[in-house]
Structure 1
Amino acid sequence: FIGPKVSVLKALGDKIMAKKVAVANNVPIIQSSDQDLSTMETALGEAEKIGYPVMLKAASGGGGRGMRVIRTEGELRKGFPEARRESLSAFGDNTVFLEKYVENPKHIEVQIVADSHGNMVHLYERDCSVQRRYQKVIEFAPSYGLSQVIKDKLYAYALAICKAVDYNNIGTVEFLVDEDDNIYFIEVNPRVQVEHTVTEMITNIDLIKAQLFIAGGFKLSDTQIKIYDQDTVQIAGVAVQCRITTEDPANDFKPDYGIVTTYRSAGGFGIRLDAGSIYQGVSISPFFDSMLVKVS
């Protein structure tokens, strides 16, 4: 199996469980619901306690599924059953929770690499603040507009959470940073992410190769991976990734499908393409994500 061990997935694969790990290790989190939101009445009570606006989230969610900003009781009454149905359909789990909504934050994630021998490093941060429908559209690394003090705190928090569960393989720890530089942990993605390519481009570390060798029992310091310690991980330059999606601008940018009549790839020195089966004449299915290509 290529990925973190079962105990890590149980501790961090669920957003509610991951928050408990963060609290136990003095990592700041956003105020969230304490009760199991199994009924509308409970959800309304928790929202009143936290204070509007709140964010309604799927506990097993990802990619923006099951997420809604709730600003009034009426919106919660409408959004609560919708989010539960969407979460059940997407993840097989209708568990949802509420947390205080942070206005206009930066969305920052820290890349972690860890072997199964107790060695762990971070590969700095990515800025994923440019989003639509809570799905990332443009990612870049490193982040600009954050002080080194805040960045160092983010690295320390990410490592603390991962060390607490004896993390192995690669993963990402995600945070929000508000306009006053307050940091809030939101989740851990215990897997490789779509936007990992920008980290690879600025660190010259192949994350896919690394996770394969880690799964095979190698240490970070082995010649197959060559991450000897934190000081050996250096940043060179800046990388930006844009997600090319099939969406209809005349229909509020809703995901679209059909036959691709014309397609030309980006190209040139320093351009990286991560593409699936996209070419002129291909039929785009309505049953999958609208992303076609990543251009870095």
Structure 2
Amino acid sequence: MRFNKLDLNLLVVLDALLSTRSVSRAAERLFLSQPATSLSLSRLREYFKDELLLPVGKTQVLTPLAAELLKPVRDVLLQMQTITRASPTFDPATSARRFIVESSDYVISVLLSEVVRRATKLAPLMQFDLRAISPQTAEHLNSGEVDLLIAPEFAIVQGHPAEQLFEDTFSCLVCIDHSIKGKKMTVDQYFDAAHVGVEWGGGRRVTYDARLISTGKRVRRQDVISPNFTLVPELLVGTSRIATLPTRLARQMAQRVPLRVTRCPIEIPRFAEKLQWHKYQERDPAISWLRSLLREVALGLPAVDSIDARRASSKQPPTPKRRVR
């Protein structure tokens, strides 16, 4: 089919060429031979009267026109995809849809693991490709490469719809025989101790609590930096270090490894994880179904204690806070 004398089938090839900047990788993505992909590139060059891809050393770069075409071509294909997936009904029991979801390993542990378990019963043919958030996450969502993104407020992508899934608080995790007794820790003990920190997402994103604490007068001495949340228990066991983690994750880890959870003596506001999808996939019935399942599981997450909530329930005035020096 042609539109303005352009073979619309070439749009799919153009999208692959612009996003991969490589004839060979575009051919692999489209399951075409390299000669066939090269021929399509020649036809596209002839139509646009532009080289589109230019060799620079061993790589290829986009021409100015190609760079301008990148987003509108992708948007057109995403809208066409939405049209082709439109259906008055969606039956998860028979759907073989494959979803790509990007999130932190924290979200996989406390939320997505249960989502996948429930989906196994409700949609046995459905597939899940769970990926770690990376520096390319915004590009992945903008291009439609990922179906859903679950991330804290500061990591969501502008220009696409989002909704809050759940909130969490922060607690401290220590070795089970740590010298700190009971569930209370002082501010001085906290800052005098060595810590295990987490910088996640490939691009070494600092955690929400680290962002806040870094603005104060006292800083944590982070002796060990973990590339993800999952490795923290291994870096704590047998040491006197402290890790500050989302409460649900800390409790989950303490059930599996000889660690215990203590109250964080630093007041850190609770944070929210948000669910996001591409604006052109707003009405995709399969994505809508999965969003509903995510909301259902999120609503059923175990509650986390809140200092403010405990005070409100007891109707007692708050005790004076010790100033962080």
For Structure 1 versus Structure 2, the TM-score category normalised by the shorter chain is under 0.3
Q: Which has the larger radius of gyration?
A: 2
Task: Select the structure that is richer in strand.
Answer: 1
TM-score, length-scaled by structure 2:
0.22
Task: Select the structure that is richer in helix.
Answer: 2
Which one has more relative contact order, counting CA pairs under 8 Å at least 6 apart? 2
